[in-house]
Amino acid sequence: MTVRTRFRTAALAAIPTALAAVFSMTGGASAMAASSEVNAYSFTFQGIDGRPLPLSQFAGKAILVVNTASQCGFTPQYQGLQALWQRYRDRGLVVVGVPSDDFGGQEPGTATQIKDFCEVNYRIDFPMTDKTVVSGDGAHPFYRWASDEMGFIAKPRWNFHKYLVGPDGKLASWFSTMTDPESDKVREAIERLLPEKAPKS
């Protein structure tokens, strides 16, 4: 056997080992990508009480995330949001209000003032965040992610824009400011994500 033949034989013998190493690396990369997949549970807001409000605490539930304002023509939608919360909370819906001053400067108050306004006027008791930027380059990471996931048309254009997150943490739908929280469109989308009966405690 010549030197060239021995070299070729050795090279061919090494191919399976090399391929196994490549596939092993590829599999590892895929596993790493899967484990680091971003969804709504990856994000944490600052709660209106000053404490962290991680969306991961609502894992397995549907979440309606709504940017709100106290001095907007659509502020009465708070009433519909509270009604949704009361109607579906036992079946696994969480409403999260995100006060924002981005549109028209219609949320000028402090966290305490916003909280008092919501409780006194609409008896809001669903989770609320501190005042948050929801649009532009400085938007909260959740809103940047949601805009990337749902596309340009789904970005908040005004107060009371709504993102609906499924129990798997993925965005399920979105609704514009003009869509009333208690509309058939919103309720049907929520119903599709929830079990028919409230889970037993």
pLDDT at 2: 52
Architecture of domain 40-193: 3-Layer(aba) Sandwich (3.40)
Give pTM, 2 decimals. 0.81
Q: Which residue has the higher pLDDT, 194 or 10?
A: 194
Burial grade of 118 (CB within 10 A; 0-12, 13-18, 19 or more): buried
Instruction: Give the rounded distance of the alpha carbon of 19 from its chain centre.
Output: 40
For residue range 149-195, list pLDDT tens digits in order.
Answer: 999 999 999 999 999 999 999 999 999 999 999 999 999 999 999 98
pLDDT value at residue 93? 99
Asked which of 7-11, 14-18, 28-32, 81-85 is least confident by mean pLDDT, the reply is 28-32
> pLDDT value at position 196?
79
> What number is the average pLDDT over the span 118-142?
98
| pLDDT greater than 60 at residue 70 | yes
Q: In angstroms, what CA-CA distances link 131 with 22, 70, 161, 180, 191?
A: 49, 11, 15, 22, 29
Among all residues, which ones are annotated catalytic?
72
How big is the chain by its Cα radius of gyration, in Å?
Answer: 24
**Tokens 């596939």, residue located:** 23
Residue written as token pair 């028209």:
104
